[in-house]
Chain A
């Protein structure tokens, strides 16, 4: 299985901050990388697929980049509703695997 490692595991930030989360794959996954946001008690919500394609309805302050083994999710200006846990997922090979999550907390 392809291992996905996110960093950091948690971070503290304030409204308006620029936030960056990193995801690394144990082997090349080209651009088969997706990002989800999950709030407590809710299902994950797809933010970005294919490393950089913004899912319909997702605010443009979210962006993704990277290819191969290293990927980044950036929130350009953190909003109150963005405090949540973020997961990366590879969809290059089966079984699809997720990172362990990054919790974005209020500073």
Chain B
């Protein structure tokens, strides 16, 4: 059974860089069928796609966040990571990693449990 697990600091200060890692178990991140993405949800609000990466390293970002986002992949560790720079309180959210089927903005059939990141001074 495929599992995804987010990890990283739960608290950050304004202007800093948020860093999260997603560890994939029960399947290979190098599968040619799937993409791997980050999606976030501010408390009490809806879902926002941040970006996606393919095992080859190709990346696809939401234009609204593109200037601040970097997603990378480490196939040897079966992990992919998110960096979001210059964070503000508006970046406070539950961050989910997910598997996307077929293409960079396909549906997400497996999700991590999510990790709450709070940006506060």
Which residues of A are at the interface with B, using a C-beta cutoff of 8 A?
A: 34, 36, 42-46, 49, 55, 87, 89, 91, 93-101
Contact = CB atoms under 8 A, between A and B. Distances in A.
B100 to A, nearest CB: 8
A10 B110 CA distance: 26
Interface of B: 46-49, 60, 62-64, 96, 98, 101, 103-109, 111-114
Is chain A's interface secondary structure helix, strand, loop, or mixed overall?
loop
A41 to B, nearest CB: 8
Contacts, number: 49
The secondary structure that dominates the B interface is loop
A99 B107 CA distance: 14
19 contacts: A43-B111, A43-B113, A44-B47, A44-B108, A44-B111, A46-B109, A55-B109, A89-B107, A91-B103, A91-B106, A93-B105, A95-B62, A95-B63, A95-B105, A98-B46, A98-B47, A99-B46, A100-B46, A101-B46
Nearest to B62: A95
Of B49, B60, B108, chain A has the most CB atoms within 10 Å of the CB of: B108
Contacts of A45: 111
B62 A91 contact: no
